Amino acid sequence: MRIERGLSWVWAYVRGAPGTHLWLAVLFATTVALHSMPPEFGENFLRHRSTNLHELSRNPVRVLVASAMWIESGHWLPYAFLFTVFHAPAERWLGTARWLAVCALAHVLASLASEALLLAAIRTGRAPLTAVDTLDIGVSYALAGVIAVLGHRIAVPWRYGYLAAVFAVFTLPLAAGPTFTDAGHLLAALTGLACRPLVAGRGKARNPKETPVAPRG
């Protein structure tokens, strides 16, 4: 009976966040495919699906979508953990459509803004021309946006501590040695925080001391 209850809870949890788990399934399949490729071929393959300046100038919609379906590091398990901790609760709270809107806004705006900064650096001689082909792929911008929007789910005053920790994580790399990807992560987090209108009507902020209600099947 306990096993059946456990499986029922897991199924209810997965069913409550279908977008998260479908995305994870796609990432698992693409990660397996990436591991089957020779390293040099795999890098070139990802480069054609990267939101770098060269590919964005040719087919921006294709690469903005494709870049979110691959993991550059080739390590799926850490993202499975992060998706479970952040994406799944956000989707259950916001609903799939609003959660997807946060993901899309954070991913697209951060990708375009970080590449615009890179373009400016190339034009002013602060970055080499070869940077137009820089590999920029993965799901981290969408994840940063979702991590930040979850701050609106937490009641005051705990919200302030959570957001302070979130923005410390995304700001410290900029102070240590900034890259355009680091700037993209901070912009993605700010985008998620700015998605406050999307949380309207999704229930009151939750006190961390309260026991969460188990998902129903």
Q: Which residues contact 118 (CB under 8 A, 6 or more apart)?
A: 53, 127, 131, 134, 180
Residues of the chain falling short of pLDDT 70: 1, 6-7, 209-217
Q: Which pLDDT score is estimated for 4?
A: 72
pLDDT digits (tens, 9 = 90+) for 159-187: 999 999 999 999 999 888 778 999 999 99
**Cα angle: 1, vertex 15, 189; to 5 degrees:** 125
pTM greater than the 0.95 cutoff: no
Q: Which pLDDT score is estimated for 96?
A: 96
End-to-end C-alpha distance for the chain, whole angstroms: 15
Q: Which pLDDT score is estimated for 216?
A: 45
Transcribe 58-90 into DSSP letters: H-HHHHHHHGGG--TT---HHHHHHIIIIIHHH
Q: Which pLDDT score is estimated for 217?
A: 42
154 - beta bridge partners? 206
Q: Which residues contact 148 (CB under 8 A, 6 or more apart)?
A: 163, 166, 167, 188, 189, 190, 191, 192, 193
Q: Which pLDDT score is estimated for 215?
A: 46
> What is the rounded CA–CA span in Å between residue 189 and residue 83?
16
Q: Which pLDDT score is estimated for 77?
A: 95
Calculate Rg over the CA atoms of the chain.
19
DSSP SS3 for 154? strand
DSSP SS3 for 15? helix
C-alpha separations of 67 from 42, 111, 200, 202 in Å: 14, 10, 30, 30
> What is the rounded CA–CA span in Å between residue 25 and residue 2?
27
Amino acid residing at 71:
I
Q: Which pLDDT score is estimated for 212?
A: 54
Nearest to 50 by CA among 34, 32, 65, 31: 65
To which residue do tokens 């954070």 refer? 106
